[in-house]
Chains A and B, each alone.
Chain A
Amino acid sequence: MTERNEMEAAIEAILFVSSEPVPRTKLLELFDEGERELAAEALEAVLARYAPAEGAEGRGVLVEDVGGGVRLATRPEVVGWLRRFFDVSGGTKLSMAALETLAIIAYRQPVTGPEIQELRGVSPAGVVKTLLERRMVRIVGRKEVVGKPFLYGTTREFLVHFGLNSLKDLPPLEEFEETFGSGDASAVAGLVDLAGGPRGEEPGSSDREEEFLREVAELEER
């Protein structure tokens, strides 16, 4: 009989060591069948411990539910310190062209290049290549039409990067209908919430980063 405390410790340690999201079922299967219920409780306790909730300001890591599993990750608030310590810029933002193409693939998958072009009015060849390289999309097959074009779909990497657990978490496309240009799209809000984003602070995050850098510079002068 495994103690509940021991279970929590084991789960926490596994999450610490894993670099990929760990499916919940896989975590629970670690324990004997009779103990699964207790293990589930232990897992929830660990998740709650790291939940990106209010009052967790002093913490540097969180646990998030992404890509069909749970994983430990750093809190977005500390990224400035990480970049400074590791001396890296940490990833490039996707271009608008890439995001448009990704949106089409995410909502219309499996979809071919010509179909993407039809929707965007622009050939997607270069952008699709970028997305393939960044492992946001993958080739899922070929369409049985003339020319047998590749069919593209999104990857688990896409889910993880956008903080989604599964494709079902994508807000329905219809929700994007009437909000164009208002900047307060409910679907956008939904997506950002899902992604574990701090609502409201969002537009100013780059300002905060600048502020942070200024503060660092001041400290150094002293």
Chain B
Amino acid sequence: MSEEAPELPDLQDRSDRSDLPEPSALAEGTGDDGGETADTTLPAAWRVHLPIFEGPLDLLLHLIKLNRVEITDIPVATICDQFHAYLGLMEELNLDIAGEYVYEAALLIHLKSKMLLPRPPRAEGEPEDDPRQELVERLLEYRRLKEVAQSFAEVDRLRLGIWTRRPQPLPAVPEDEEQQVDLGEVSLFDLMGALKQALRRYEKEHPPPLQLSLEEYSVRGQFDRLLGALDAGRPFDLISDLKHRTCRAEAIAAFLAVLELARLNLVRIHQTEAGDILLYRTTRDLADAEREAIGS
């Protein structure tokens, strides 16, 4: 394992990477991975100098290359420290650190600790278990795919220069008839995708109206409330009670309840000279059947 101090290698040394996106491409922002794209409010100079990695594995590969070590023999402690140093740098620059990086960082610490622990002795001739094996395999696989992606990029650029005729209806098809669609390449999932997209677009263009849950106030509820509040002998100020209802609907329900109370001779209603309406509880008792008859 390397003894060198865990200093951050020069991350700007990316000139050898042919796949480094051009600044213009960065500015456009593919926005597909999120996380590692620089905040647009950052000063431009910072954005230019911070290398953009396609993900934690990409960063790991880069560190391995900078340290000039073999993938199959990674100095875990060094790489782990440098990985964390890079995350620290991202944090300093106020970049969002994507969860994937944090996850990978945790894996590296786990691996580092595993490397420190003594491994169980093995039988003669049996190869020793290397805790790094899984990481090595992942990196090798990723490196291969990265290579493929680079050749794809080359071909992609080249093939953008090859154009064909734009599809157009053949002259035999009358204009008012439905155009023939080549269904050969359309799968059920394409149709589902199209439907989903249409629905999504529809939803976007027709946002659902602000939904307020309907507050319901029953006459019987108000009836019970008023009956409970009425105290024999003491006047009950109806106007003030109605003023304290939370909404029109509740006030209307309360008013109807008062009418019910009066109809059943449960209250007497007085109006003062000042205009106040006062309710007085009568001595009559409420029969259950009468209460049930009130609309809920």
A176-B147 in contact given A20-B167, A72-B165, A195-B155 (Cβ < 8 Å)? yes
Q: Is the CB of A75 within 8 A of B145?
A: no
From residue A11, how far is it (CB to closest CB) to chain B in Å?
16
Asked if B163 is an interface residue, CB under 8 A from chain A, the answer is yes
Q: Is the CB of A20 within 8 A of B145?
A: no
Residues of B within 8 A of A (CB): 16, 18-19, 21, 25, 30-34, 54-58, 65, 98, 100, 104, 138, 141-168, 170, 182, 185, 187, 189-190, 192-193
From residue B136, how far is it (CB to closest CB) to chain A in Å?
14
Give the nearest-CB partner of B162 in chain A: A73
Measured in the bound complex, the distance between the Cα atoms of B104 and A95 in whole Å is 23
Partner of A74, one of B18, B34, B144, B163: B163
Give the nearest-CB partner of B104 in chain A: A121
Q: Is the CB of A19 within 8 A of B167?
A: yes
Please tell me the size bucket of the interface on A: 35 or more
From residue A91, how far is it (CB to closest CB) to chain B in Å?
4
Looking at chain B's contact residues, the main secondary structure is helix
Give the nearest-CB partner of B71 in chain A: A180
- With contacts A97-B54, A99-B149 known, what are 16 further pairs, Cβ within 8 A? A74-B161, A75-B162, A77-B161, A93-B156, A94-B152, A95-B25, A100-B54, A103-B148, A120-B55, A120-B57, A122-B33, A162-B159, A163-B159, A187-B148, A191-B151, A205-B158
Q: Is the CB of B98 within 8 A of A122?
A: yes
Give the nearest-CB partner of A182 in chain B: B147
Q: Tell me which residues across on chain B come within 8 A of A93, comparing CB atoms.
A: 25, 153, 156-157, 160
Measured in the bound complex, the distance between the Cα atoms of B170 and A121 in whole Å is 47
